[in-house]
């Protein structure tokens, strides 16, 4: 299930790495195709929660996004509103962007390659 707080499901049941890989890749392709930003590599901010499945899910999401040509800004374990704040902070200087994805709000920012 997808909502304002991200993708939800029960790990290894309704949500597993294969599903997440396909979903994240399609999401990255959608952002690339629909962005008003002329950059061929949109930046996508990724945060996660503290569950034990977090590292596996994060690796899967990052791999999928990179595989379709996106840059990833990983902000670590954060509450959902922090991801949105990072999106807004990243896009502020670039008013021509259509998609919403971030830099960090007081955290170290790095691109995963």
Supply the CATH number for residue 53's domain: 3.40.120.10
Q: In the prediction, which pLDDT does 17 show?
A: 92
Q: What is the pLDDT of residues 14-26, one digit of tens each?
A: 889 999 999 999 9
Please indicate, yes or no, if residue 66 is contained in any of the structural domains. yes
Please indicate, yes or no, if residue 1 is contained in any of the structural domains. no
What's the domain count of the chain? 1
For 24, the domain range is 8-112
Q: In the prediction, which pLDDT does 68 show?
A: 96
The candidate with the shortest Cα–Cα distance to 12, out of 20, 4, 1, 24, is: 20
Please indicate, yes or no, if residue 21 is contained in any of the structural domains. yes
Q: What is the pLDDT along the chain (113 residues), one digit of tens a residue?
A: 556 566 778 888 888 999 999 999 999 999 999 887 777 788 888 888 899 999 999 999 999 999 999 999 888 898 877 777 777 776 655 444 444 333 333 333 333 33
Cα(62)–Cα(73) distance, integer angstroms: 9
């Amino acid at each position: 299930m997808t909502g304002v707080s991200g993708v939800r499901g029960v790990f290894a049941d309704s949500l597993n790495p294969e599903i997440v890989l396909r979903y994240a890749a399609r999401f990255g392709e959608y952002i690339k195709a629909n962005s008003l930003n002329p950059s061929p590599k949109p930046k996508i901010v990724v945060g996660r929660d503290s569950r034990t499945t977090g590292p596996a899910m994060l690796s899967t999401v990052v791999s999928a996004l990179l595989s379709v040509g996106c840059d990833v800004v990983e902000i670590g374990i954060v509450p959902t509103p922090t991801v949105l704040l990072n999106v807004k902070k990243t896009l502020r200087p670039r008013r021509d962007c259509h998609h919403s994805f971030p830099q960090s709000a007081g955290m170290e920012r790095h691109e995963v390659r």
